[in-house]
Amino acid sequence: MTEKQTVWLSAGQSGKKIGMFIFYIVLIVLAVFQILPLIWLLFFSLKNNQEVFNTPLFSLPSPPRWENYVKVWVEGNIGRYFFNSVWITTLSVIFTVLLASFATFAITRMNWKLKHVVLGLFMVGLMIPVHSTLIPLFSFFMKMKLVDHPLSVILTNIGFNLPLTIMVLLGFYYSLPRELEESAIMDGCSVHRMFFRIILPMTSPVIVTTAIINMIYNWNEFVFVNTFISSDQYKTLTVGIQNFIGQYTTDWGAIGATLMISILPILFTFFFLSDRIVEGITSGAVKG
């Protein structure tokens, strides 16, 4: 290697290091801007009204008022709303992922005439605005006597999340080798047994991904719950926060504590399982 080539190589390596340094600086700045609102909300939830309005935004509360959390959990009925969010979200996720797996298996692994039409109908669901369906859905649930019933929210969550879930599953299902199914059929395996014993376990990475995505969407759902549910018995945390704000208009620390409780499950889920989301989405990108 000549001296000129050595100089060019050294310059290229230096430029690469500078580029990576700038790239990481940009990422750090973006991360700070993402974290600052959460820190502010935590400090906000530990203050009283005087500290909220008379101290700087990011000042530490003195002393921290953890009783705000006890107050909203006991007096604000947040415990019931939290429990409702948990079981409604769990049921919605389970049935959405299971039904989407059924549909994706039938579309990608079975031969029938209308499978492309059915896939197109599911994809059309991605383009339907949520708000345009509120009146028809409310009228339908009124006739079915499901207004103010959690089943209305669960069915709506499933219906609107199916297209996105199927779209995520498609790439992974197309990448599965056909030889697995052929071997299973030759061994006398039925379609149902092949799906539950072979296909479903193999798609566990993308199932985890779709479950996390559905969990985030369902947990944060506000419009459907606010439209279909009116009694406190079935309200979820998002709508319960709205009622709590109306009830404790001047207690800003309690409002902050309520908001903090509502976002903690999503934060922990995404923090510990964010790599599974990327893994599941990219696992079907390359066919093997």
- Residue 247's pLDDT is 53
Specify whether 39 is located in the same domain as 154.
no
| In a shared domain, residues 9 and 122 | no
Residue 146 and residue 269 in one domain: yes
According to the model, what pLDDT value does residue 127 have? 87
The pLDDT assigned to 11 comes to: 57
Helix (H, G, I), strand (E, B) or coil at 225: helix
Residue closest to 213 by CA, chosen among 129, 270, 286: 270
CA distances from 62 to 18, 50, 65, 173 (A): 43, 11, 8, 55
What is residue 245's predicted lDDT score, i.e. its pLDDT? 64
Determine the structural domain holding residue 175 and report its residue range: 68-283
Supply the pTM of this predicted model: 0.82
pLDDT at 249: 60
One domain for residues 26 and 73: no
How many CB atoms sit inside 10 A of residue 101's CB?
A: 22
Helix (H) or strand (E) holding 259: helix 252-283
Asked whether residue 278 falls in the same domain as residue 226, the answer is: yes
Amino acid, single-letter form, for residue 272: F
Pairwise CA distance, residues 287 & 135, whole Å? 43
Mapping DSSP to helix (H, G, I), strand (E, B) and coil, where does residue 177 land? coil
Considering the domain architecture, whether residues 215 and 255 belong to the same structural domain is answered as: yes
- Report if residue 59 sits inside a domain: no
pLDDT at 287: 45
Can you tell me which residue has the tokens 């079975």? Answer: 110
Q: From first to last of its 288 residues, what are the pLDDT tens digits of the chain?
A: 565 556 555 656 666 778 788 888 998 998 888 888 888 888 888 888 788 778 777 787 778 888 888 888 887 788 888 899 999 999 999 999 999 999 999 999 888 888 889 999 998 988 888 888 899 999 999 999 999 999 999 999 999 999 999 998 988 888 888 887 888 888 788 888 888 888 888 888 889 889 988 998 999 888 899 899 988 889 888 887 776 666 546 677 888 888 888 888 888 877 777 666 666 555 554 444
d(CA 105, CA 107): 6
pLDDT of res. 87? 94
Domain of 110: which CATH number? 1.10.3720.10
The answer to the question of residue 61 being in a domain is no
Write the CB contacts of 62 (distance below 8 Å, at least 6 apart in sequence). 51
Asked whether residue 193 is assigned to any structural domain, the reply reads yes
Residues 29 and 139 in one domain: no
- Please tell me the total count of domains within the chain: 2
Q: What is residue 12's predicted lDDT score, i.e. its pLDDT? A: 60
Same structural domain for residues 35 and 89?
Answer: no
pLDDT of amino acid 282: 59
Sign of CA dihedral 256, 259, 265, 266: negative
Whether residues 9 and 103 share a domain: the answer is no
Residue 80 shares a structural domain with residue 36 = no
3-state SS track over 137-155: HHHHHHHCCCCCCHHHHHH
